Structure 1
Amino acid sequence: MNKIMLLLLTGLFSGATQAAVGGYPVVLVHGFQPDNLQSKPTGDMVSENGAEYWAQYWLDRADERIDWPSQERIASNITSEYVWPKLQQLSRAGTCDSGCVFVTHSTGDLVMRYIIDNQALWLQNAGLTPLNIVTTFDFSGAGGGVELADLAVNVASGTGLINSTLKLAVSLWLGELPSSSNIGVLNDLRVNTARQLAALPDSRVPRLRFAGAGSDFLGVTGAFLPGEDDGVVASHSSCGAATVGSYNSCSRSVKFDGKFTSTNGPSGFMPYHYPMLMSEGYSHGDTILNSAKDEVTSANSSASYLNGDDLQFTTYDEKRGWWIFSSRYRVVNNSNKTSMSALVYQAAN
C-alpha cells in the first residue's frame, strides 16, 4: 500500500466513529518499529508509519490511533508529544464516552499500561472527562519486557558478554546492530524496567491477551528468550504472567498447540491480565495480520469487559492419534482458515 493511500485511509478513519467492535469505537496503539531508531521520524512520518503498521487488518476496522516514534522514551517524549495530545482529542470528541476498546501490539501493550495508569488523572486535571476504556485486546504483548531489548542495550553500550550469535539475534530483530545514540524505547523494553513501569494501575481495565509461539527468525532469537516465545517476546510477557519465567503456555492445562496436558504455565498474572487465544504457529508479527498461520486454541474461552459485556470464543475438543497414543486437543472454531485478529474481531461483534 503506497503512502498516499495510507494517508487517505488515515484521514478517512480519524473522523466519525465507526463503532468497529461490538458497538465500541476502536483505538489502535502500535508497537516498536526498529527502523525508527535510524530514521527518527517526526510529524506526518510518525502518522504514516502508524497507518502502515496496521494496514493489513486493523487499520480499516478502527476509529483512531495513537502513533508514536520508537526513538523516544515512553514516560517522556512519547507521552508528552504523542499520547497526551491524542488523549485530549479523544476526550473532547467524546469518542469513549459510551466505552471504547484499545487494540495494542507488542510494545503498544506497555504504552497502554502507562496510559491506563495515568489517563484519568491527567484528563481530570486538565478539566476533561477521562476515557471510558472497557477493555484492551493485546496481541503479542511486550508489557512484561523483552529480553532482546536487554541484549540490544548491552550491544549498544558494549557491556555484558557479547558474542557473534548474540549479535546475529539482535541484528535479525532490529535489522542492524544498535549504537548507544539510537536505542530509544529499547530502554523501556528491558525486562526489569518494563515490569516497573505502571506495574500496579488503579484502573481495573481487563487486558485480554493473544499470544503466539512461532518465529520469523528460524529460532535464532528464541535461544535468548525463556520458555516458549514468538521470536521476539517470551510467553511470560505475551501471556501477562506476574513473574518472569520459562513458561511453555499461557495455561497450566493446555499447550500452545491446543493439547490438553500439564504445562509449565504461569501460576499468576499481572493485575487484570487474562490470557485468551494461543497458537503455536503465529510469530510476533503474525498476530495482527490477515492470514491464518495455524490452528488456534484458548487459554480461556471467555472474559468480561469492565462494564460486564463479554468476549466469547467457540471451541471444540477432539482426539488425535491412535489408541493409547491419542491425545485430546482444544481448537477454536474456524481457526484453521481465519487469522487470529479476525477471530477476535468476529467474536467481539
Structure 2
Amino acid sequence: MKTLKLWLTAMLMFAACGTAKAQLAGKNVLLIQGFLPQHILFNPTDQGRADGIGYWDGFDASLKDPATTRILYWPSHYRLQGAGGIAALIANQLQPILSSGFCDNECVVITHSTGDLVMRYVLSNKNSLLGSSLAQRLKVTAVIDMAGAGGGTELANFGVDLINGVNHGAEVLEALLEFLGYDIPLGINPGVMLDLQTSVARNTAINNLPAIPRLRIASTGSEFYGFATHPIIKGKDDSVVPLHSACGAAYDGALDSCVRDLRVDGRVTSVSKAPSLSQLYDYHYPIIMSEKMAHNEMQANKRGRDMTFALSGADRYNAGARTIGLDVEYHSVYAWWDWFREYRYITDADDKTMGRVIMDSFE
C-alpha cells in the first residue's frame, strides 16, 4: 500500500491542525446541484429551493453540516445568463453568505453535473454579478467538479431537438406524457438545456478563467436508461455527461479516459483517446475516475464502485499561485484475469460513497 501526496497547494492541508471535522480540509463548503429534468415539465414554485436541497440527501453528512456548508439552488427551466437567469439567482443567494464572512478564509465549491457550468460562469463574472466588494469576498481555494457538464453534453443537443420538434420529436414526447397521464402542451421551455448544448457550453465563460483549480471527477457507469443514452453521447460517458466534458478537455472528442497513462477502470497503460495536460481547459485537473459509477450516483449514498486516481504521469499540477493539497491512499493489483497487468485503485473506495472519498482525500 502506498500514499500519494499530490500537492496542488498547501492551503487545504489545514485539516490536520485540529479544524472542524465537518469542514473540507479546514474550509467551508458550497454545494451546487446539477440539472433537474422535472423542472422542464413542472416548473417549481420556489425557484427550485426544495429540490436543490433534496438533491444532496444522499451525500456525505460531514459535507452537509449547516455550520460549515451552504447549498445553492436553481431551477432548470431558467437560462444561465440574463437578469432573471440562474447566475443572477445564485448571486442573490451568495450575497448574505459572503456578507457573513463565510468565504473570508476561502471556500471549497463542490458541484455536480451542470453545477460545473453554472459556477464557471459565476466565478468568471463575479464582479458584475456581485459587485466588486462582495466579489472580493468570494474566495475559492478549489472547485471539485463531479461529472462536470461544463463542456456540455450531446444529450442536451438531442433533448433540445426533441422539444423543438425535429423529426416529430415533440409530438412523440407529448404522446408519451399523455400516455403516462400528464397533459403537457407542445412548446416546452428547455431552459438550461439550451446552455448545455455542446456548442453553447463550450463558448460560455471559457476565456480568462480565474486561477482556481477545478478538480475533475469522471466516470463511465450506466444508469438504468444508459442503453438508450450511450449511443447519443460522443465517446465514453456516465449515461448523461461525456468524458470530454467531465475530464475538462478543451475539445469535444470521443474520449476513453481523462489521462493518457491510465484507463478509467484503473489499468496502467497508454490511452490514445485521452487529452494531454495542454489539451485541458486552464486550471482543470482530472483527479478521480471510476468505470462503474453512474452519473447520479456521484452525489448519492452509493457504494461498491472502484475508483482510481488520474495523474497523467505527473505528481504536481501548477495552478497559478494557488496551493491545495490532495492526499490519496492507493494500492496496485496485478490482475490474473488480465495477464497480470497493473491496476491502481484508491484504497477502500469501493466501500465508500464519493462524498466520503472526497472527504478522506482532503484530510
What TM-score bracket applies, with the shorter chain setting the length? 0.7 to 0.9
- Which residue in the other structure is 1:331 paired with? 345
SS of the residue aligned with 1:285? helix
Q: Structure 1 CA distance, aligned partners of 2:209 and 2:37?
A: 31
Aligned pair count?
324
Q: Which residue of 2 is the match for residue 54 of structure 1? A: 56
Q: By how many angstroms is 1:240 displaced? A: 0.6
Matches of 1:116 and 1:148, distance apart in 2: 25
Compare relative contact order (CA 8 Å, sep 6+) and give the higher one, 1 or 2: 2
Q: Which residue of 1 aligns with 2:28?
A: 25
Letter matched to residue 131 of structure 1: L
For 1:56, give the aligned amino acid: G
Aligned residues of 1:88 and 1:128 also touching (Cα < 8 A)? no
1:299, distance to aligned residue in structure 2 (A) = 0.9
SS of the residue aligned with 1:220? helix
**Residues in 1 aligned to 2:185 and 2:21: alpha-carbon distance in whole angstroms:** 40
TM-score if structure 2 supplies the norm length? 0.82
Aligned to 1:155: 162
How has the CA–CA distance of structure 1 residues 218 and 232 changed in structure 2, closer, same or farther, with 3 Å as cutoff? closer
- For residue 339 of structure 1, what is the amino acid of its counterpart? T
Shift of 1:302: 6.9
- For 1:112 and 1:156, the matched residues in 2 are separated by 26
Residue number in structure 2 paired with 1:314 = 329
Q: Which residue of 1 aligns with 2:252?
A: 244
1:274 and 2:281 matched: no
| 2:39 counterpart letter in structure 1 | N
Q: Flag the 1:82–1:163 CA change in 2: closer, same or farther, 3 A.
A: closer
Alpha-carbon distance, 1:60 to partner:
5.5
State whether residues 87 and 119 of structure 1, in contact with CA within 8 Å, keep that contact through their aligned partners in structure 2.
Answer: no
Give the gaps of 5 or more residues in structure 1: 1-16
Residue 233 (structure 2) pairs with residue 225 (structure 1)? yes
1:340 is displaced (CA, Å) by: 2.2
Give me the whole-angstrom Cα distance separating, in 2, the residues matched to 1:337 and 1:55. 19
1:74 maps to a residue whose letter is L
Q: Which runs of 5 or more residues in structure 2 are unaligned?
A: 1-19
- Matched with 2:76 is 70
Alpha carbons 1:29, 1:105 under 8 Å: kept = yes
Relative to structure 1, is the Cα distance of residues 105 and 302 closer, same or farther in structure 2, using a 3 angstrom cutoff?
A: farther
Q: Does structure 1 retain, via aligned residues, the 8 Å contact 2:163–2:169?
A: no
Could you say which residue in structure 2 is the equivalent of 1:39?
42
Select 2:99's aligned residue among 92, 101, 106.
92
- Does the 8 Å contact 2:268/2:344 carry over to 1? yes
Of 292, 295, 304 in structure 1, the residue corresponding to residue 303 of structure 2 is 292
Correspondence for 1:258: 266
Match of 1:5 in 2: none
Contact 1:236/1:243 (<8 A) preserved: yes
Q: Could you say what the CA RMSD is over the residues aligned between the two structures, in angstroms?
A: 2.7
Residue of structure 2 aligned with 1:190, choices 188, 192, 197: 197
State the 1:99 CA deviation: 0.5
User: Helix, strand or coil for the counterpart of 2:298?
Assistant: helix
Aligned pairs for 1:100-179 within 5 A: 100-125=107-132, 129-159=136-166, 179=186
Q: Secondary structure at the match of 1:102?
A: strand
How far does the alpha carbon of each residue in 1:263-315 deviate from its partner, in whole angstroms, 9 at most, with x for none?
11112101111001001110001111222232101112776776413122122
* Letter matched to residue 35 of structure 2: F
Query: Residues of 2 paired with 1:178 and 1:103: CA distance?
Result: 36
Query: Residues 201-252 of structure 1, C-alpha deviation per residue, up to 9 Å, x if partnerless?
Result: 4410110011110011242200111111000011000111110111001111
Say whether the 8 Å CA contact 2:146–2:218 is kept in structure 1. yes
Report SS of the residue matched to 2:138. Answer: coil
* Corresponding position of 1:210: 217
Partner Cα separation in structure 2 for residue 347 and residue 80 of structure 1: 30
Q: Counterpart amino acid of 2:323?
A: G
